[in-house]
Amino acid sequence: MGSMEGLSRTVIHFLLLFCIVCKCLASDLEANQKATLKIDASPKLARKIPDTLLGVFFEEMGRGGAGGLWAELVSNRGFEAGGPNTPSNIEPWLIIGNESSIFVETDRTSCFSRNIVALRMEVLCNNCPAGGVGIYNPGFWGMNIEDGKTYNLVMYVKSAETVPLTVSLTSSDGSQNLASVAIMVAGKSKWIKVEQKIVAKGTNRTSRLQITSKKKGVLWFDQVSLMPADTYKGHGFRDELVSMLLDLKPQFLRFPGGCFVQGGWLRNAFRWRESIGPWEERPGHFGDCWNYWTDDGLGYFEFLQLSEDLGAAPIWVFNSGLSYNDEVDTAAIAPFVKDVLDSLEFARGSANSSWGSVRAAMGHPEPFPVKYAAIGNEDCGKKFYNGNYLKFYNAIREAYPDIQLISNCDGSSGPLDHPADLYDFHVYADAKTLFSMKNTFDKTSRSGPKAFVSEYAVWKTDAGRGTLLASLAEAAFLTGLEKNSDVVEMACHAPLFVNDDIEKKWNPDVIVFNTWQHYGTPSYWMQVLFRESSGAIVHPTTISSSSSGNSSLAASAITWQDSDNSSFLRVKIINFESVAVQITISTTGLQASIDVLRSTATVLTSSNVMDENSFSNQDKVSPVKSQLFDAGAHMQVTLAPHSFTSFDLALAPSKLVTLAGRVNKY
Give the per-residue pLDDT at 659: 36
Nearest CA to 296 out of 344, 256, 323 is that of 256
Residues 6+ apart with CB under 8 A from 480: 437, 438, 439, 440, 441, 442, 554
pLDDT of 228 strictly over 70: yes
Distance CA 419, CA 634 (A): 47
- The stretch 153-162 carries a mean pLDDT of 96
CA dihedral 82, 86, 92, 95 (to 10 degrees): 180
pLDDT of 530 strictly over 60: yes
Place 503 in a pLDDT band, splitting at 50, 70 and 90. confident
Collapsing DSSP to helix, strand or coil, 416 comes out as coil
pLDDT in tens, 578-594: 999 999 999 999 988 99
Distance CA 314, CA 492 (A): 13
- The stretch 365-373 carries a mean pLDDT of 98
pLDDT of 410 strictly over 80: yes
Give the per-residue pLDDT at 568: 96
Calculate the CA 20 to chain-centre distance. Answer: 33
Give the per-residue pLDDT at 390: 98
Q: Parallel, antiparallel, or unpaired for β 204-213 and 163-170?
A: antiparallel
pLDDT of 664 strictly over 70: no
- The stretch 379-383 carries a mean pLDDT of 97
What global pTM score does this model have? 0.92
Asked if omega into 87 is within 30° of 0 (cis), the reply is yes
Give the per-residue pLDDT at 628: 87
Phi, psi angle pair for 240, to nearest 5°: -70, -30
Distance CA 123, CA 103 (A): 7
Place 61 in a pLDDT band, splitting at 50, 70 and 90. very high
CB-based burial label for 556 (10 Å; 0-12, 13-18, 19+): buried
Place 505 in a pLDDT band, splitting at 50, 70 and 90. confident
Lowest mean pLDDT, pick from 468-477, 518-527, 559-568: 559-568
Give the per-residue pLDDT at 30: 55
Distance CA 181, CA 196 (A): 8
Residues 6+ apart with CB under 8 A from 481: 53, 441, 453, 488, 491
* Contact yes or no for 90/105 (Cβ under 8 A): no
Give the per-residue pLDDT at 31: 60
Distance CA 625, CA 596 (A): 15
- The stretch 178-203 carries a mean pLDDT of 95
Distance CA 147, CA 137 (A): 20
Distance CA 644, CA 594 (A): 22
Give the per-residue pLDDT at 67: 95
H helices within 228-355, ranges in order? 239-246, 259-262, 300-310, 334-348
Place 238 in a pLDDT band, splitting at 50, 70 and 90. very high
- The stretch 97-105 carries a mean pLDDT of 97
- The stretch 134-162 carries a mean pLDDT of 97
- Percent of the chain exceeding pLDDT 70 equals 92
- The stretch 323-346 carries a mean pLDDT of 98
- The stretch 49-64 carries a mean pLDDT of 97
- Hey, what amino acid is at 468? L
Give the per-residue pLDDT at 111: 94
Beta bridge partners of 586: 38, 634
Q: Which residues of 523-545 are buried (b: 16+ CB within 10 A; e: fewer)?
A: bbbbbbbbebbbbbbbbbbebeb
pLDDT in tens, 19-56: 444 333 333 445 678 999 999 999 999 999 999 999 99
Q: Return mean pLDDT, the chain.
A: 92
The DSSP call for residue 484 is: T
Beta bridge partners of 40: 588
Asked if omega into 365 is within 30° of 0 (cis), the reply is no
* Contact yes or no for 649/571 (Cβ under 8 A): yes
- Hey, what amino acid is at 20? I
Query: Kindly report the CA angle at 388 between 385 and 390, in degrees rounded to 5?
Result: 105
Give the per-residue pLDDT at 653: 75
Phi, psi angle pair for 229, to nearest 5°: -75, -15
- Higher-pLDDT residue of 545, 312: 312
- The stretch 149-175 carries a mean pLDDT of 97
Give the per-residue pLDDT at 6: 43
* Contact yes or no for 203/147 (Cβ under 8 A): yes
